[in-house]
Amino acid sequence: MNSESRKDLYTGILSWFRDNVPAPTTELHYDTPFHLLISVILSAQCTDKRVNMYTPAIFREFPEPEDLAAASFEKVYGLIKSISFPNNKARHLIGMAQMLVSDFGGRVPDSPEELVKLPGVGRKTANVIASVVYDKPVIAVDTHVFRVSRRLGLSDGKTVEAVEKDLTENIPAESRATAHHWLILHGRYICTARKPKCHECGLKEWCTEYRAANVKIQ
C-alpha cells in the first residue's frame, strides 16, 4: 500500500470512529491513577470484566501506594488468587508500590519511560497509563489493537513495536489516546479473533482483509 492510499485509509477509519464512537474509554474501573495502574497490571492475560470483580476489595485494602508497599505477599495473593498468574502479579504489585514510594514520592509517573521502570509494567501498560491518566500522545498496542490494525490495513508490521510505530506516525497526536480505545473496543466486540463480526462492522469499506476476502469469493 502506497503512502497516499494508507493516508486515505487512516482518514476514513478515524472519521468513522469519531462519528460513531465519540467518547470511548477504558472498561477497567478505577478511582485514582494508582488504582488504574493496579488494574492494568492485573489485566495482563485476563479480561477487564474479571479484574473489575476483584479490584473494589483491593482498592479498599490499599487506598495508597504506601499501603500496598507495606503489604505481605500472602495478603495480596489472597485478594488476587482468582486472577491469572496471581503469584507473579502479587510480587509485581508489591514491588511497584514500593518503587512508587521510594523513587517517585508515591505518585504515578506520567511518562512511559519512567513507568516501565516499575515492576510488572511493560511498554503496553506504561502507554495505557500515560494516555488514559495523563492524555499523553502514545498508543498502547495489545493483542486487540495489533489484530485490528493489521486486518484493517493500518499496519503490516509483524511486531507490536512495528504496529505501534505505524499508528504513531499516522494518527495525529491529539487523537492517539482516543484511538487506542477505539481499536481495542473494536477488537473486543466486533473484530474478534476467531469469528470477526464483519456483517456488523461499519469499517468494511476500508478494511483491507475484508476487501481481499470478498475479491477471492467473487
pLDDT above 90 for 4: no
Q: What is the percent of the chain where pLDDT is above 90?
A: 93
165 is written with which cell numbers?
Answer: 510505530
The residues near 33 (Cβ < 8 Å, ≥ 6 apart) are 108, 129, 133
pLDDT above 90 for 2: no
Mean pLDDT along residues 31-47: 96
Go through 192-205 and write b for each residue having 16 or more CB atoms within 10 A of its CB, e for each that does not. Answer: eeeebebeebebee
Which of 48, 124, 136, 166 is catalytic? The answer is 124
The 3-state DSSP class for residue 107 equals coil
Which of 48, 89, 136, 142 is catalytic? The answer is 142
CA distance 164 to 124: 10
Helix segments in 71-142, DSSP class H: 73-80, 86-104, 112-115, 123-134
CA distance 4 to 72: 56
Q: What is the percent of the chain where pLDDT is above 70?
A: 97
pLDDT above 60 for 180: yes
Q: Name the pLDDT band for 59 (thresholds 50, 70, 90).
A: very high
Q: Is 124 a catalytic residue?
A: yes
pLDDT digits (tens, 9 = 90+) for 111-164: 999 999 999 999 999 999 999 999 999 999 999 999 999 999 999 999 999 999
- pLDDT given for residue 215 in this prediction: 54
